[in-house]
Amino acid sequence: MLREPANDSALPLIGIYEISKILGATLDLDKALHDVLNVLSSFLQMRHGAVVLCDEEGTAVLSAVSGMSLPMARSGALKYPIEAVHKVIATGIPMVVPEASEDPLLSDYVAASEVVEDEDISFFCVAIKGSGKPFGALSVERSWSPNSRYVFEHDLRFLTMVATLIGQTVSLHRKVAADRARLMQHNARLAKQMAEIKPSQPIKGLGDIITNSEPMARVFSQVQQAAPTKATVLLRGESGTGKELVARAVHLLSPRSQKALVKLNCATLSETMLESELFGHEKGAFTGAVGERKGRFELAHEGTLFLDEIGEISASFQAKLLRVLQEGEFERVGGSKTLKVDVRLVAATNRDLEAAVAKNEFRADLYYRLNVVPIFLPPLRERPGDIPLLALYFLKRFNEENGRQTRFSEQALDVLQRCYFPGNVRELENCVYRTATMTQGDTINEMNLSCRSDTCLSSILWNKRNDNEAAATLAGAPPPAAAPMSAPPQAIEPLPAIGGAVDSLTERERLIDAMEKCGWVQAKAARLLGLTSRQIGYALRKNNIELRKL
């Protein structure tokens, strides 16, 4: 390079600084590369620069030029020496030609340049690469006077640094583009799965339930079998598993679908209000009864009555309800006239009614009257394949309601799929809405989820309840009653294969294998499986594995 005066010695450093700012300031790669060449042309007096990048098929293509438009350069007006550049890309070895006009591969390219009299042209070309082999090249021309002294290594070192910055930027852009394409393909695949989700028969009622899991397919089969009959249906399952949707499906698939479906949540009302709501009341039956009012049984005549949380009604009211179910008749509150109704009953509960009957908390005769056709709804953690579908459905609804374009990353969906969701579908819906609301930008990443920042409210609730149970046990008091079929909300990885066991082993078989290898010591088996003591204890109970004493 020409030996510059002392006050110009900092120009290469300033040039690197300006180029790094350009490459980091925009997502438009073409514009960034063009601006870099402009810096080399004007700021550092290197003219006619060009950037060549290989496409997916390995073909070298002009990606940026200075001195003319890119379309014109690609059409052949530049007479760019692509053959010479191919050698640099293939070998990674820089090219320095002091007298470019004397090189057969460069003579036409240099002849097209505006060369001043008594000025010679040198050609520099360095490879652009990331962490692997070269995938492009950066080339520039330098003019010089025959009487000047140059140290070409300085130019070469500077261009190599610029090419390294360009390589890092291009690699990052390509990685982002590849990740985005993979994410779009993943979302398109899930969207296609959602579009293909259908009940076993294309009948109205079941189409509102989003699932493609085998456990829910069994539920659909039971619903379609029971719905056409008059039999009482008892929906069992944890809170948030969709019992109300299934009750609606039972009604829509029954001969009573043209009549009313009347709903009532028994847990929200006192016994007096519950009696008035179900049986109605006469005018003046109690303070505030200013007129006659029909109850839910009358409103559901020849239709379907859905009683949610049936396990929460009091012992005295259970007897009143039993009479209606047995005789099909009742009297309004404050009235003496016996009314007869024809009602198909669908009830739902998340309680263990068998345990309640054993403790004399629930009438056995009412239990047998309700438990004619029991249908068990699986919790969300037992059908993890439904979680991404439901998450996408709730996010789509959120976007429609709020005018947003938010989407999930593939990693975020994977994390959701491993969560236990003790609140089931309702908790998943709240999780999606909360995360989408608090996410800045259009993509929900793994770290935007509450469980990845230790702010999962469900986890906090679970841990506090376990702490209360432990404190009560230490104090000699019975622990508080736990919700039925509940599970810790932590995201737990599927149990790994042990000792080379094949992946076809079930979770129960892997647990037994681990326990046997560890002498039936839970702590050792937990470490072997990468679980906590609490998690393996839950897994053993869930799979009905009894501990052995060796």
**pLDDT tens for residues 312-341?**
998 888 888 888 888 888 888 888 888 899
**pLDDT tens for residues 140-185?**
888 776 665 566 777 888 888 889 899 888 888 888 888 778 877 8
Q: What is the CATH number of domain 492-550?
A: 1.10.10.60
Q: Which CATH architecture has domain 381-459?
A: Orthogonal Bundle (1.10)
Q: Is 543 helix (H, G, I), strand (E, B) or coil?
A: coil
Q: Is 525 helix (H, G, I), strand (E, B) or coil?
A: helix
**pLDDT tens for residues 389-431?**
999 999 999 999 999 999 999 888 888 888 888 889 988 999 9
pLDDT mean over 378-390: 89
Lowest model confidence (mean pLDDT) among 169-178, 248-257, 456-465, 517-526: 456-465
Residue 459 pLDDT class (50, 70, 90 cuts): low
The answer to whether residue 533 scores a pLDDT higher than 90 is no
The answer to whether residue 491 scores a pLDDT higher than 70 is no
Q: What is the pLDDT of residue 497?
A: 46
DSSP bridge partners of 345: 305
What are the structure tokens assigned to 350, written together?
A: 């998340």
What is the separation of C-alpha 252 from the centre of its chain, rounded to a whole number of angstroms?
A: 32
Q: 362-369, long-range: CB within 8 Å, 24+ apart, which pairs?
A: 362/311, 362/315, 362/318, 363/315, 363/318, 363/319, 363/322, 365/322, 366/318, 366/319, 366/321, 366/322, 366/325, 369/232, 369/322, 369/325, 369/326
The answer to whether residue 193 scores a pLDDT higher than 90 is no
Residue 381 pLDDT class (50, 70, 90 cuts): confident
What are the structure tokens assigned to 433, written together?
A: 């809405």
Closest CA to 84 of 93, 71, 76: 93
Q: CA 503 → CA 29, 417, 506, 526, distances in Å?
A: 45, 19, 8, 19
Residue 191 pLDDT class (50, 70, 90 cuts): low
Each domain of the chain, given as residue ranges in start order, spans: 6-178, 214-378, 381-459, 492-550
**Calpha distance 403→410 (Å, rounded):** 22
The answer to whether the 6-178 and 492-550 domains have the same CATH topology is: no
| Burial state string for 189-215 with b = 16 or more CB within 10 A and e = fewer than 16 | ebeeebeebebeeebebbeebbbebee
Q: What is the pLDDT of residue 545?
A: 84
Cβ(233)–Cβ(346) under 8 Å?
A: yes
φ, ψ (nearest 5 deg) of residue 548: -110, 145
Q: How far apart are the first and last CA of the chain?
A: 82
Question: Which homologous superfamily is 6-178 in?
Answer: GAF domain (3.30.450.40)
The CATH number for 214-378, chosen from 3.40.50.1820, 3.10.20.30, 3.40.50.1970, 3.40.50.300, is 3.40.50.300
